[in-house]
């Protein structure tokens, strides 16, 4: 089989957390293991890649990683019109990264475009993709339409000004919707995402193909050296992001504490100081029961899963659900909502409950904590499903077929 040179584009690729960074790291490694040459073009925060993967760092002001988005910038940088646009956009409540990444990547890659057999974009959906697909076979991964995030955020507040800020932040959706419907090939991680992209972005479903995401089974596995902490729950959530449904889990935890005095919750994610989640934890008097863990290395991430008795994914919506398969691969009995793609991912390997339902979370946790045999059965099913369906090698081989097919289509269209 022909070995390909692939340009992999990702406007941000935070390592160790967040779906985009995970996707870039492990998919590039799996494709490289199949013999393909991968160049990753990423904006900050940059991914943590294997040594054989070339990383081309696309510059940006990186304002979201700075203490002050307004002051922490060299004034001479603002002489560049694109930098000035980025700075003004961020400081007026916008999120310009997908747009500015597209402008910068075109300048950097177009002089070497002939080197690549195929371009794979990781949901930047920048205008420049329409230029690239005229020159080279192009595949874009859309994990889920970000319009779903906006929908749930708008539902979470009655504050008119806050809603304006939310719409301002998501203004890049105009670009993403425009580009998505004009792309020739889109890869999605679930049937749920496919339907949502079709409806939200008006994309022809015949242009889309489902290739589920994977997991590093060398990293996530049951570790007998790690001792379980009795009554410990684990979840993954971005604090203050309504889409993740953390409020419902915290409310259930407050009720469970009346029955299980030693119950506690590990949250893999970063807590926003002074934010809504911190205030809710104080209101429910859960400060001693809830701990946040962010920027974990791989071993600590596995340990955080493995020391838990149960994993709970309370999301209102997921385009895929990396956290669910991470917990499953560690053999942790799983409770998941039916939000988005989660039932596709979990199937019979966990307890599925409706989203936005504190009582259902309470009942499911109570049932498994009081039914160790059922918890053990779910642990075994979860482990079996994770190993059978979600290896990155399997995912890479499926994508390889997509690449080769699109290369042939491009050749015939341009011969």
Strand 54-57 and strand 118-122: pairing?
Answer: unpaired
Q: What is the pLDDT of residues 77-133, one digit of tens each?
A: 999 999 999 999 999 999 999 999 999 999 999 889 999 999 999 999 999 999 999
Identify the band that residue 289 occupies on the pLDDT scale cut at 50, 70 and 90: very high
Phi and psi, residue 268, nearest 5°: -85, 105
pLDDT score for 260: 98
Q: In the prediction, which pLDDT does 1 show?
A: 65
Taking CA atoms, 209 is separated from 55, 142, 192, 216, in Å, by 27, 10, 12, 22
pLDDT of the residue at 64: 84
Asked if the model's pLDDT at residue 375 lies above 70, the reply is yes
Average pLDDT, the chain: 94
Enumerate the β-bridge partners of residue 57.
42
Burial class (CB in 10 A: 0-12, 13-18, 19+), 394: middle
Q: Which helix (H) or strand (E) covers residue 279, if one does?
A: helix 276-283
Average pLDDT over residues 147-165: 92
Total residue count of the chain as it appears in this document = 415
Distance CA 57, CA 15 (A): 14
Q: What is the pLDDT of residues 210-230, one digit of tens each?
A: 999 998 899 999 998 999 999
What is the reported pLDDT for 71?
Answer: 87
Span 8-18, average pLDDT: 81
- Alpha carbons 327 and 233: distance in angstroms, whole number: 11
Residue 17 has pLDDT above 80, yes or no: no
Alpha carbon dihedral 235, 240, 245, 246, in 10-degree steps, equals: 40
- For residue range 260-275, what is the model confidence (pLDDT) as tens digits? 999 999 999 888 888 8
Tokens linked to 105: 């990547």
Kindly state the tokens that stand for 47.
């991914």
The C-alpha torsion from 109 through 113 and 117 to 120, rounded to 10°, is 30
Give buried/exposed letters for 183-192 (b at 16+ CB in 10 A, else e): bebbbbbbeb
Task: pLDDT band for 242, please (50, 70, 90 cuts).
Answer: confident
Q: Rounded CA gap, 223 and 299, in Å?
A: 10
Torsion sign across C-alpha atoms 395, 399, 400, 401: positive
pTM of the model: 0.89
**Cβ-based burial of 398 (10 A; exposed 0-12, middle 13-18, buried ≥19):** middle
Q: What is the pLDDT of residues 324-365, one digit of tens each?
A: 999 999 999 999 999 999 999 999 999 999 999 999 999 999
Q: Which DSSP state fits 45? A: S
The encoded tokens of residue 212 equal 């589920």
3-state class (DSSP) for residue 42: strand
Q: What is the pLDDT of residues 59-69, one digit of tens each?
A: 999 888 888 88
Binning pLDDT at 50, 70 and 90, where does residue 21 land?
A: confident
pLDDT recorded at residue 13: 87
Q: Which domains does the chain have, with CATH numbers?
A: 5-214+392-413 (3.40.50.2000), 232-389 (3.40.50.2000)
Q: Please state whether the peptide bond connecting residue 246 to the residue before it is cis, i.e. omega within 30 degrees of 0.
A: no
> Cα(328)–Cα(345) distance, rounded to whole angstroms?
10
- Residues 317 and 173: their CA atoms lie apart, in Å, by 18
pLDDT band at 16 (very low <50, low <70, confident <90, very high): low
d(CA 302, CA 410): 42
In contact, 43 and 55? CB cutoff 8 Å: no
Percent of the chain with pLDDT over 90: 83
Residue 414, CA atoms < 13 Å, CB-side half-sphere: 11
Residue 151's contacts (CB-CB under 8 Å, 6 or more residues apart) are none
Give the 3-state secondary structure of residue 54: strand
In angstroms, the CA 137 to CA 414 distance is: 11
């Amino acid at each position: 089989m022909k070995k390909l040179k692939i340009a992999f584009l990702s406007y941000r690729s935070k390592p160790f957390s967040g779906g985009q960074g995970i996707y870039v790291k492990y998919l590039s490694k799996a494709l490289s293991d199949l013999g393909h040459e991968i160049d990753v073009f990423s904006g900050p925060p940059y991914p943590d890649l294997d040594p054989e993967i070339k990383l081309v760092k696309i510059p940006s002001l990186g304002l979201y990683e700075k203490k002050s988005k307004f002051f922490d910038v060299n004034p001479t940088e603002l002489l560049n019109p694109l930098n000035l646009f980025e700075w003004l956009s961020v400081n007026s409540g916008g999120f310009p990264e997908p747009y500015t990444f597209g402008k910068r990547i075109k300048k950097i890659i177009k002089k070497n475009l002939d080197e690549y057999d195929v371009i794979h974009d990781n949901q930047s959906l920048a205008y420049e993709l329409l230029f690239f697909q005229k020159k080279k076979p192009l595949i874009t991964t859309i994990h889920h339409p970000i319009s779903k995030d906006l929908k749930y955020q708008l539902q979470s507040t009655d504050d008119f000004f806050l809603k304006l800020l939310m719409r301002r932040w998501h203004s890049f959706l105009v670009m993403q919707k425009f580009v998505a419907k004009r792309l020739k090939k889109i890869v999605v991680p679930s049937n749920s995402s496919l339907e949502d992209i079709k409806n939200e972005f008006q994309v022809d479903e015949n242009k889309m193909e489902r290739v589920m995401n994977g997991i590093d089974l060398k990293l996530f596995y049951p570790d007998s050296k790690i001792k379980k902490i009795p009554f410990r729950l684990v979840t993954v959530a971005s604090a203050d992001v309504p889409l993740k449904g953390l409020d419902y889990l915290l409310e259930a935890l407050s009720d469970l504490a009346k029955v299980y005095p030693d119950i506690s919750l590990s949250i893999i994610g970063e807590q926003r100081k002074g934010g809504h989640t911190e205030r809710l934890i104080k209101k429910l008097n859960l400060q001693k029961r809830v701990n946040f863990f962010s920027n974990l290395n791989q071993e600590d991430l596995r340990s955080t899963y493995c020391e838990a008795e149960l994993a709970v994914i309370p999301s209102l919506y997921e385009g895929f659900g990396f956290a669910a398969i991470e917990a499953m691969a560690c053999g942790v009995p799983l409770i998941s909502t039916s939000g988005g793609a989660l039932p596709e991912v979990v199937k019979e390997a966990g307890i599925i409950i409706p989203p936005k339902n504190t009582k259902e979370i309470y009942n499911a946790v109570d049932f498994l904590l009081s039914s160790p045999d059922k918890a053990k059965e779910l642990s075994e099913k979860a482990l079996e499903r994770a190993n059978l369906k979600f290896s990155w090698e399997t995912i890479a081989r499926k994508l390889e077929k997509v690449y080769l097919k699109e290369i042939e289509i491009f050749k015939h269209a341009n011969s």
